[in-house]
Structure 1
Amino acid sequence: MGPLIVNEIISPNTNFLIAFLIGIAFGFVLEQNGFSSSRRLAGMFYGYDTTVLKVFFTAAIVGALGLLFMSLFGWIDLSYIYINPTFLWSAIGGGVIMGAGFITGGYCPGTSFCAAAIGKIDAMAFIGGIFLGIFIFAEGYPLWEEFYNAEFLGSPLLSDWLGVSRGLFTFLLVLVALGMFWVGEWAEKKFARNDYTINQN
C-alpha cells in the first residue's frame, strides 16, 4: 500500500485498516483452499497435490498484471515499491532450511498460522519451532553474520537481469505459469495416491 500513501491517496491509518482486512481475507482464502492441511502442502513436494504451485503462480500473475496495468494508467508509481535487498548465500541457505522444514512439517510460516487459527496442534508446534529458530538466529547472529551479509546484490529485478521490458517479462511469466499448470496436472495424475483425494482440506 506504500505508493498509495506516498501519493496521499489514502492515509496511514486507512492503510493499517486495509492491511488488517486484507490479512483476514487472505487467511480465509488460504483456509478455504485447503492450505491449513499439512498433507496438501507437503503434497507439492511429492507430486500428488500441486495446489500450492497453482495458487502461487496465479498470485504472481495477478500481482504482476495488476501492477503493470496500474502503472500504465498512472494509478501507481512502481518506483515507490520496496524490493527486499538480495544477499545471495543467505537467501539460498534460508531457502534450504525453510524447504526442509516445509517438507518435514508440512507447513510454511504463513500456512502454519492459518492452520493454528482453526486449532491444529501440529501447526502450533510448528509455530513454536519458528520462534525457537528466530531466537537461535538472533542470539547466534555474530557467528553467521558474515555469511548472512555475503554476496550483496542490491535489489535486482528479473526483467533487468534478463534485459527485457517489464511488459515482456510479465508475458513470459504468464507463459511459464501456464506451463507449470500443465506440469501440475500431469504430476497429480502421475503420482496420485489411493489414500488421498485432491479435494480434501
Structure 2
Amino acid sequence: MAPLIVNEIISPDTNLLIAFLIGIGFGFVLEGSGFSSSRKLAGMFYGYDTTVLKVFFTAAITAMVGMLFFSLFGWIDLDFVYINPTYITSAIVGGVVMGVGFIMGGFCPGTAFCAISIGKLDALAFIGGLTLGIVFFTEGYPLFEEMYKANYLGTPTMNELLDIPRGVFALGLILMAFAMFWVGEWAEKKFPREEY
C-alpha cells in the first residue's frame, strides 16, 4: 500500500485499516477455498488435490496484471513497491526448511493461522513449532548471519534477471500458469483420492 501513501492519496492510518480489511478478506478466501485443511494442503505434494497451485497461481497473476495496468495508467508507481532483498543461499535453505515443514505439518504460516481461527488443534501445534523456530533463529542469528547474508543479489525482479520487458514476462507467466493448471488437472486424475 506504500505507493498510495507516498503519493498522499491515503493517510497512514487509512493504510492500516485497509491492510486489516484485506487481511480479513484474505483469511475468508483461504477458509472458503479449504486451505484450513492440512489434508488439502498436503494433497498438493501428493498430486491428489492441486487447489493450492490453482489459487495461488491465480492470485499471483491477478496481482501482477493489476499492478502492470495500474502502472500503465499512472495510478501506481512501481518504483515505490518494496522488494525483499535477494540472498540466494538463505532463500534456498529457508525454502527447504519451509517445504519440509509444509509437508510434515500440512500448513504454511498463513494457512496455519487460518486453521487455528476455526479451532483446529493441529494448526496450534504447527504454530507452536513455527514460534520455536523463530526464537531459535533469532537467538542463534550470530551463528547463521554469514550464511544468511551469502550471495546477495540486491533487489532484482525476474524480468530484469531475464532481461525482458515486464509485459513479456507477464505473458510468459500466464502461459506457464495455464500449463500448470493442465498438469494439476492431469495429476488429480492420475492420483485420485476419496473425499476427506
* TM-score, normalised via structure 1 length: 0.96
Provide the rounded CA distance (Å) in 2 between the counterparts of 1:79 and 1:144. 31
Q: Does 1:150 align with 2:153?
A: no
What residue in structure 2 maps to residue 97 of structure 1?
Answer: 97
What residue in structure 2 maps to residue 162 of structure 1?
Answer: 162
What residue in structure 2 maps to residue 5 of structure 1?
Answer: 5
Provide the rounded CA distance (Å) in 1 between the counterparts of 2:137 and 2:18. 32
Provide the rounded CA distance (Å) in 2 between the counterparts of 1:164 and 1:141. 37
The structural deviation recorded for 1:2 is: 0.5
Higher RCO (CA < 8 A, seq sep 6+):
1
Provide the rounded CA distance (Å) in 2 between the counterparts of 1:140 and 1:111. 26
Provide the rounded CA distance (Å) in 2 between the counterparts of 1:163 and 1:139. 39
What residue in structure 1 maps to residue 28 of structure 2?
Answer: 28
Aligned 1:27-106 pairs, distance under 5 A: 27-106=27-106
- Secondary structure (helix, strand or coil) at the match of 2:153 reads strand
Q: Match of 1:178, as an amino acid?
A: F
1:63-108 deviation per Cα after TM superposition (whole angstroms, max 9, x unaligned): 1100000000000000000000001000000000000000000000
Provide the rounded CA distance (Å) in 1 between the counterparts of 2:155 and 2:188. 36
The structural deviation recorded for 1:139 is: 1.0
Aligned 1:128-143 pairs, distance under 5 A: 128-143=128-143
Provide the rounded CA distance (Å) in 1 between the counterparts of 2:34 and 2:50. 12
Q: Match of 1:16, as an amino acid?
A: L
Aligned positions, number: 196
What residue in structure 2 maps to residue 15 of structure 1?
Answer: 15
The structural deviation recorded for 1:50 is: 0.4
- Secondary structure (helix, strand or coil) at the match of 2:60 reads helix
What residue in structure 2 maps to residue 177 of structure 1?
Answer: 177
- Secondary structure (helix, strand or coil) at the match of 1:48 reads coil
The structural deviation recorded for 1:163 is: 1.0
* TM-score, normalised via structure 2 length: 0.99
- Secondary structure (helix, strand or coil) at the match of 1:153 reads strand
Gaps (5+ residues) in structure 1? none
Provide the rounded CA distance (Å) in 2 between the counterparts of 1:68 and 1:142. 40
- Secondary structure (helix, strand or coil) at the match of 2:83 reads coil
Percent identity reads 69
Gaps (5+ residues) in structure 2? none
The structural deviation recorded for 1:142 is: 1.1
